[in-house]
Amino acid sequence: MKRRVALVAVLAVVLGVAAPVLAADPSEIPLVIEKNRFEPDVIKVKAGAPFVLVITNKDKGPEELDMQQPRIEKVIPAGKTVRLKMPALKPGKYPFVGEYHSETAKATIIAE
Amino acid sequence: MGATFVITLREAFEAALILGIVYGYLEKIKARDAYRYVTWGGALGVALSVGMGVAVTYLSGPLLDVGPEIITVVVIFSAVGLLTWHAWWMQQHARFMKGQVQHRIDEARAHDRLWMVGLIAFTGVFREGAETVLFLWGIMAQAGAEAGWGGVIGGVAGVACSAGLGWAIFHGGRHVSLVRFFSVTTAFIMLLAAGLFSTGVGRLQGLGFLPASEPLWNTSWLLSDRSIAGGFLSGLIGYRSQPTLLEVIAYVAYLVVTAVLLFGHRAPVGVPLVEDPTQP
């Protein structure tokens, strides 16, 4: 009995945490990786609203989107499209790089 | 070539550090027969890294969108748990060495759980392993076309250089006394695990499972996370140029809690209880 109560409690916590993430219907913003660069390299989003970066890698090798703040590391394999859920951002600039080609693959998200 | 060298050197450093400490620990407690656990753990880490690299390349949809991140977070927190256990175990070991008899009892007990070090080796290698595999794979795929083979050579050299550093830690450890080795590596492991714990919390923030917060400070002008020195400090003590409040709290809380757990109510580490019986 105790175990069942504990299980229900754990489930409730998990759902409570996961529900807001799953329930939101955020806007989608396309981002393309080509010739080891991000296109576009400036992305404007609404502050305070979560969104989804739909990232397509058109190159022959994988790339890793690396953002310092919030801490996001996401590998996008060659030729694939990845949907990266982004948390709501406060107004400001959020630069990121493609870690595997950080000299050329640079971009910034501007939340306003 | 230089850029790929730096990336793989950074990625592989933490794994090399952990392997060096764990092999060194086994050497110190005269449990060389248990090297195989570490070797197997490390090999399994490499194998699964390659497996995950392949899987990520062929996956698509939700599995690719969040699967690797969830695995990464699970591996990070498992590594924190295992490393904490290992630090605690080394402390116990050091304490029991009050006499030869107790030393032997403890050794027998230690042997029962030595397979756990294999798990530590596994998580240590697997954590950044898949990323390193994908990176190396990528530069190999592009080697023929755009980039030259210099990038591949640099990447492989970076991994090799990290492995060399791990070996140097192991080798250097052989020349210090057991008690000193234990206290130094316990401190290393605590800092490393605190850094990992805070990284895990940061990842959960990035995934949206924990509330986001502003960076508390920004020292990237002084030491970038992407430089060699920044990478080493990140592996060693969990350096971050722009930590969030929650990450800093996680780091400090981990250190305080484990310090109390490890050194709370008995003799502090670093104070040799007896002369080290394993040294000639």
- Over residues A10-63, the pLDDT tens digits come to 555 555 555 545 554 678 999 999 988 999 999 999 988 889 999 999 988 889
Mutation site, B1, B70, B135, B224, interface A, largest A CB count within 10 A: B135
Task: Report the distance separating Cα B212 and Cα B227, nearest Å.
Answer: 26
Q: Residue A78: closest CA among chain B residues belongs to which residue?
A: B57
Domains, chain B, with CATH or none: 2-263 (1.20.1250)
What pLDDT sits at residue B112?
A: 64
B131 contacts A85? CB cut-off 8 A? no
Q: Is the pLDDT of residue B81 over 90?
A: yes
A71 contacts B65? CB cut-off 8 A? no
**Per-residue DSSP letter, B215:** B
Task: Report the distance separating Cα B39 and Cα B24, nearest Å.
Answer: 13
* B267 vs B190, more confident: B190
* Tokens of residue B245, six digits: 């409040």
Task: Count Cβ atoms below 10 Å from residue B166 Cβ, excluding itself.
Answer: 23
Asked if residue B130 lies in contact with residue B52, where contact means CB atoms within 8 angstroms, the answer is yes
Chain A nearest C-alpha distance from B211 (Å): 9
Q: Is the pLDDT of residue B7 over 70?
A: yes
For the sheet with A81-86, list strands across it. Answer: A37-39, A27-34, A51-57, A81-86
Contacts of B279 (CB under 8 A, 6+ apart): B177, B178
Asked if residue A70 lies in contact with residue A6, where contact means CB atoms within 8 angstroms, the answer is no
Chain A nearest C-alpha distance from B141 (Å): 6
A89 contacts B69? CB cut-off 8 A? no
What pLDDT sits at residue B182?
A: 84
User: What does the mean pLDDT of chain A come to?
Assistant: 82
What pLDDT sits at residue A109?
A: 93
pLDDT band at B266; cut points 50, 70, 90: low
Distances in Å between the Cα of B265 and the Cα atoms of B35, B174, B270 are 32, 30, 15
The closest CB to that of B138, out of A61, A71, A83, belongs to: A61
pLDDT band at B265; cut points 50, 70, 90: low
B220 neighbourhood in chain A, CB within 8 Å: 68
Task: Report the distance separating Cα B165 and Cα B19, nearest Å.
Answer: 10
The closest CB to that of B212, out of A70, A74, A81, belongs to: A70
A77 neighbourhood in chain B, CB within 8 Å: 56-57, 64, 134
B138 contacts A78? CB cut-off 8 A? yes
Q: Residue B203: closest CA among chain A residues belongs to which residue?
A: A71
Domains, chain A, with CATH or none: 26-111 (2.60.40.420)
At how many degrees (to 10) do helices B62-96 and B245-263 cross? 30
Mutation site, A15, A69, A73, A89, interface B, largest B CB count within 10 A: A69
pTM of this structure: 0.79
Handedness of CA B84, B85, B86, B88 (dihedral sign): positive
Asked if residue B221 lies in contact with residue B212, where contact means CB atoms within 8 angstroms, the answer is no
Contact with chain B for residue A40, Cβ under 8 A:
no
Distances in Å between the Cα of B129 and the Cα atoms of A65, B9, B32, B194 are 17, 12, 25, 20
C-alpha of B31 from chain center: 21
Q: Which amino acid makes up residue A64?
A: E
Lowest-confidence range among A51-65, A95-109, B81-95, B163-177? B81-95
Task: Report the distance separating Cα A29 and Cα A44, nearest Å.
Answer: 9
Contact with chain B for residue A24, Cβ under 8 A:
no
* φ/ψ of residue B13, rounded to 5: -60, -45
Three-class SS state of A84: strand
What pLDDT sits at residue B271?
A: 47
